[in-house]
Structure 1
Amino acid sequence: MQISGQHTSVLIAGAGPSGLMMAAQLLRYGIQPVIIDSRQGPTSHSKALAVQARSMEIYRQMGIVDKVLKDGKPAKGITFYDDGKPGAQLLMDSVSDGTTPYPFILMYPQSSNERTLLDYLTMNCCPVYWDTTLTHITQTTDKATATLEANGKTQTLTADWVIGADGAHSPVRKSLNIPFNGDTYKSLFYLIDGKLADRYDIDLIRVFLSTKGLAGFFPMPQEGYYRIIGNLPDGVNEDGSELELNDVLPSLSAIVGRGISVEECRWLITYKLHHRMADNFRLGRCFLIGDAAHIHSPVGGQGMNTGLQDAYNLAWKLAMVINQKANANLLDTYPEERMPVAKRLLKTTDSAFKFAMSKGILSRTFKKYIMTRLLHFMWSKERIRKFFFLTVSQTGITYRDSKLNLHLSNAKKIKAGDRLPCLTIFDEKKQEETDLHQWCFKPGFTLIILGKLIEEDLFKVARWLTQTYNGSINFYYLPPSEKNQHVFDAFEVGKGRHRSILVRPDMHIGFMNDAVDPDRMDRYLSPLTP
């Protein structure tokens, strides 16, 4: 399919999860991007598998989470094995703090995520131009110019903005000469998608640590199927020849401590793992998201989810600029907010991965005699369980240091920059149960006022929003009640007090004040507006 036209508002290079999410989010704001991919079409195979709670919250906001949950498989926890013997077991049913509807890790392959997002794009009449490769890009202060190749023909397309979601070998990043610093891990890894002859009775992620290597078993949505990831011994496959299942099973069985039999192998690949990050996520009118911006080890199932979060963070800002509802300086906050997240992720996954792969005597001793007891002890502490879940689920990501925040409150538990907790509430107006996230489903900022207001003051706030922002800010009011006391406790709102909360379109809190003061909110919002 040939791209019609010579100019577009947004060009997205790459139709993986990050690029598709970017397109889907822009569509929510009425922006029709052009999205291209060098592949012939969507793939049925993909390395990423885990969908974290924060990603499911985004899918819920988009109205597509039911399909994701229906076709996925929740993992109930993680079990660690040492030389084939069961060790610590970390069950997920006790880790969430009750602020998300999804206290688990969902096994839902990247390919399924892509199909779900493609369906969303199709419903919104946004095609993907497959077999279309971006070969070069240049830019001025006004626009970017991309050279594309499709069906043996070369085409030039100009764009106001370009999103590089084109993977670890990103042509966008290379055209911009942005360094991609990092390293490659020494070991050669394999990935098996298959049906096991001897199945496990509980849907847990199982991690086998051994002096012979590392292996992880991840339950797939189809009954009896697992994704198995492990490393091959040093020196194996040095000639780069294609391996077969029987070449891999001896090493896997040695790590697990018993024979592994695969009834049906649907996919087998070998690959190297890398940890790299771009020096900048933005240059002029071009942005990098997902694997084009950062790649790391699969520890914690963070990679695909981080790419989805990149798109989620950037899309609303770009949409507000394109729709002339925000100053272009707002776009500077994308790298300012997302690069620290990527740096922390690379650091933590790299450390965890190196520990898991270490064969030194101190590491072996620790894993064999200390790690299980230490994990059992740590898991018994509610605070540590909560920290673990906040980290893995990505619900604990905060932008407190962002210049987009203004915290004028004495509250210490939840501050501007934090993700809005998904607390269940009783809607006094509709007389029905809902939650704070549902109040933020519409595109744009959302103002939530906690505390008792007289009718005249409520009218003043509504009139101010209508006259100043033409209704573009969604408004909800929650008075004190016994049914909603937990919400007031979470936000530390005392009796007779108030809390004004401006929630960003990505469901992070931008502004928090202990008073209902439209002038203060105006001063917060004014730098964002053109």
Structure 2
Amino acid sequence: MNISAEHTTVLIVGAGPSGLMMAAQLLRYGIQPVIIDSRQGPTSHSKALAVQARSLEIYRQLGVVDKVLAGGKPGKGIAFYEEGKPGAQLLLGNVGNVNTLYPYILLYPQSSNERVLLDYLTLNCCPVYWNTTLTSLTQTTTLATANIESNGISQTITADWVIGADGAHSPVRKSLNIPFNGDTYKSLFYLIDGKLSEKFDIDLIRVFLSNKGLVGFFPMPDEGYYRIIGNLPDSLKHNEELKLDEILPSLNKVVGHEVTVEDCRWLITYKLHHRMADSFRQNRCFLIGDAAHIHSPVGGQGMNTGLQDAYNLAWKLALVINKKANESLLNSYAEERMPVAKKLLKTTDSAFTFAMSNSFISNLFKKYVMTRLLHFMWGKERIRKFFFLTVSQTGISYRESKLNLHLSQAKTIKAGDRLPYLTVFDEKRQEETDLHQWCFKPGFTLILMGKLIEEDLFKVAKWITQNHNGYINFYYLPPSDKNQQVFDAFEVGQGQHRTLLVRPDMHIGFMNDAIDLDRMDRYLQGTVGISHSN
């Protein structure tokens, strides 16, 4: 299928999870992108397996989370083994109150994620042009020109904006000559998707550490099937066409007993890398997902980070395209996401390097100290919560971003933080809802908390209609016994007020202890770069 259009507002190169999420988010704002991918179609391999709580919250906002949950399997925690012997267990069931509807890791393959997003695009009449390769890309300060090839036919398409979601070997990044600095881990790794004859009692991610290497078992949605990842011994590093029978002996040595794979669906060997692009934007072009950063699989962060890149960028680009905001808003994408990627590379690299280390001191630590230390740390609620907030990505905050304004005395939750999941009782409708559900519509969400008279509410509604119609949704939460937990979470005392302006990506942009429309106007215009409605 050839592209009929000679020009598009947004060209997305790459139809993996990041590119598909970018398209899905733009569609929510009425923007129809053109999506190309050099592959013949969506992947049939499982690839990335972990879907974190923050990604599930995004899927819920899209309206597809029920389908995702039905096809996935919640991972209930992580069990460590040292030289084949059981060690510490980090069970997510006792993490405590983490203010999310999804207090677990959902094991749901990348292939399934892609299909859910493709279904969303199909429902919105947005095709993906498969077997279409970007051959060159040039740009000016106002336009990008892409040369593409499909089925031996070359054509040129111009675009106002280009999104490089085309993976670690990104042709977009290479066309822009953006350095991709980092390194490659020395070990060669294998990945097996197969059914095990061994039955584990509960659905835990199991990590076996040994002075002979590392092996991880990840339960898959299909009963009895696991993703197995491990490193190969040096004796097998140069054999490119390894078979299962050649890998199992080294796997068994790390695990400490014989593992039988009854049905091997997928087997590959590969190198792992940790790299990051020097910049995430150049003029009209942006990098998201693996095109911008790649890292070790520790913590199941890769695919989820790409989804969040798209989630962060899409609403900003949509406001600019729809002439609601100045182009300066787009600078905040790299300002917010590059520190997240940098921190992720640092932490996953440190954890992975430690796990793979075979030094004498490292082996002693794993054998005699690590289990006791993990048991001790997991006994502390504060540490359990920190672990979950980090892995689930619900703890990511943009407090340092120039896009936020915190004018409140509140110290626990501040502007830049993700809006916590908190249930709300709707007194008017006499039904239970939650703060995230209030943010389902595209655009900003204004939440006023505290006792207000009808005249004040009318002034706010009038201000929105006259100045910001179409991209601010308004909710009012009066004090009540049933909603006291929300007031407590935001530290709103008796007789006090709180103004929250939540960004479209469910991060708090503006927080004030007063209901000051002029101050909020200055924030929207001066800080975010949003113009008044015509």
TM-score, with structure 1 as normaliser:
0.99
Count matched residues. Answer: 529
Q: 1:227: which partner in 2?
A: 227
Cα deviations by residue, 1:91-136 (Å, 9 ceiling, x for unpaired): 0111152410000000000000000000000000000000000011
User: CA separation in 2, counterparts of 1:34 and 1:412?
Assistant: 43
User: CA separation in 1, counterparts of 2:464 and 2:47?
Assistant: 46
- The answer to whether the 8 A contact 1:98-1:423 is kept is no
Cα deviations by residue, 1:384-408 (Å, 9 ceiling, x for unpaired): 0000000000000000010100000
Is 1:20 aligned to residue 20 of structure 2? Answer: yes
Secondary structure at the counterpart of residue 378 of structure 1:
helix
2:293 alignment partner AA: H
Secondary structure at the counterpart of residue 441 of structure 2:
coil
User: CA separation in 2, counterparts of 1:503 and 1:138?
Assistant: 36
User: CA separation in 1, counterparts of 2:164 and 2:289?
Assistant: 9
- The answer to whether the 8 A contact 1:77-1:92 is kept is yes
Q: 1:134: which partner in 2?
A: 134
Q: 1:6: which partner in 2?
A: 6
User: CA separation in 2, counterparts of 1:234 and 1:329?
Assistant: 51
User: CA separation in 1, counterparts of 2:494 and 2:240?
Assistant: 71
Secondary structure at the counterpart of residue 500 of structure 1:
strand
2:77 alignment partner AA: G
- Quote how far apart the aligned CAs of 1:43 are: 1.2
Is 1:183 aligned to residue 152 of structure 2? Answer: no
Is 1:424 aligned to residue 423 of structure 2? Answer: yes
User: CA separation in 2, counterparts of 1:161 and 1:471?
Assistant: 23
Is 1:466 aligned to residue 478 of structure 2? Answer: no
Secondary structure at the counterpart of residue 194 of structure 1:
strand
Cα deviations by residue, 1:314-359 (Å, 9 ceiling, x for unpaired): 0000000000011100000000000000000000000000000001
Q: 1:332: which partner in 2?
A: 331
Is 1:203 aligned to residue 203 of structure 2? Answer: yes
Secondary structure at the counterpart of residue 421 of structure 1:
coil
Q: 1:89: which partner in 2?
A: 89
Secondary structure at the counterpart of residue 235 of structure 1:
helix
1:303 alignment partner AA: G
User: CA separation in 2, counterparts of 1:518 and 1:261?
Assistant: 66
Cα deviations by residue, 1:284-303 (Å, 9 ceiling, x for unpaired): 00000000000000000000
Summarize the alignment of residues 202-351 of structure 1 with structure 2, pairs less than 5 Å apart.
202-238=202-238, 240-351=239-350
- Quote how far apart the aligned CAs of 1:471 are: 4.3
Could you list the runs of 4 or more consecutive aligned residues of structure 1 that deviate by over 3 angstroms after TM superposition?
Answer: none
Q: 1:520: which partner in 2?
A: 519
Cα deviations by residue, 1:167-186 (Å, 9 ceiling, x for unpaired): 00000000000000000000
- Quote how far apart the aligned CAs of 1:234 are: 1.6
Q: Is the deviation greater in 193-202 or in 348-357?
A: 193-202
User: CA separation in 1, counterparts of 2:154 and 2:242?
Assistant: 38
User: CA separation in 1, counterparts of 2:408 and 2:198?
Assistant: 56
Is 1:29 aligned to residue 29 of structure 2? Answer: yes
Cα deviations by residue, 1:4-39 (Å, 9 ceiling, x for unpaired): 110000000000000000000000000000000000
Q: Is the deviation greater in 74-83 or in 93-102?
A: 93-102
- The answer to whether the 8 A contact 2:98-2:385 is kept is no
- After superposition, the CA RMSD in angstroms is 0.7
2:60 alignment partner AA: R
Q: Identical aligned pairs, as a percentage?
A: 79
Is 1:48 aligned to residue 53 of structure 2? Answer: no
Q: 1:504: which partner in 2?
A: 503
- The answer to whether the 8 A contact 2:240-2:269 is kept is no
User: CA separation in 1, counterparts of 2:281 and 2:94?
Assistant: 40
2:229 alignment partner AA: I
- Quote how far apart the aligned CAs of 1:430 are: 1.4
- Quote how far apart the aligned CAs of 1:235 are: 3.3
User: CA separation in 2, counterparts of 1:257 and 1:426?
Assistant: 53
- The answer to whether the 8 A contact 1:446-1:504 is kept is yes
Q: 2:165: which partner in 1?
A: 165
Summarize the alignment of residues 341-490 of structure 1 with structure 2, pairs less than 5 Å apart.
341-490=340-489
- The answer to whether the 8 A contact 2:82-2:367 is kept is yes
- The answer to whether the 8 A contact 1:99-1:421 is kept is yes
- Quote how far apart the aligned CAs of 1:201 are: 1.7
User: CA separation in 2, counterparts of 1:150 and 1:394?
Assistant: 38
User: CA separation in 2, counterparts of 1:57 and 1:14?
Assistant: 23
Is 1:529 aligned to residue 530 of structure 2? Answer: yes
User: CA separation in 2, counterparts of 1:411 and 1:310?
Assistant: 28
Q: 2:79: which partner in 1?
A: 79
Mark the runs of 5 or more structure 1 residues left unpaired by the alignment: none
User: CA separation in 2, counterparts of 1:490 and 1:419?
Assistant: 13
Secondary structure at the counterpart of residue 400 of structure 1:
coil
Summarize the alignment of residues 79-158 of structure 1 with structure 2, pairs less than 5 Å apart.
79-158=79-158
User: CA separation in 1, counterparts of 2:162 and 2:344?
Assistant: 25
1:58 alignment partner AA: I
- The answer to whether the 8 A contact 1:96-1:389 is kept is no
Cα deviations by residue, 1:189-215 (Å, 9 ceiling, x for unpaired): 000000001121210000000000000
Secondary structure at the counterpart of residue 266 of structure 2:
strand
Q: 1:96 to 1:45 in 2, by over 3 A?
A: farther
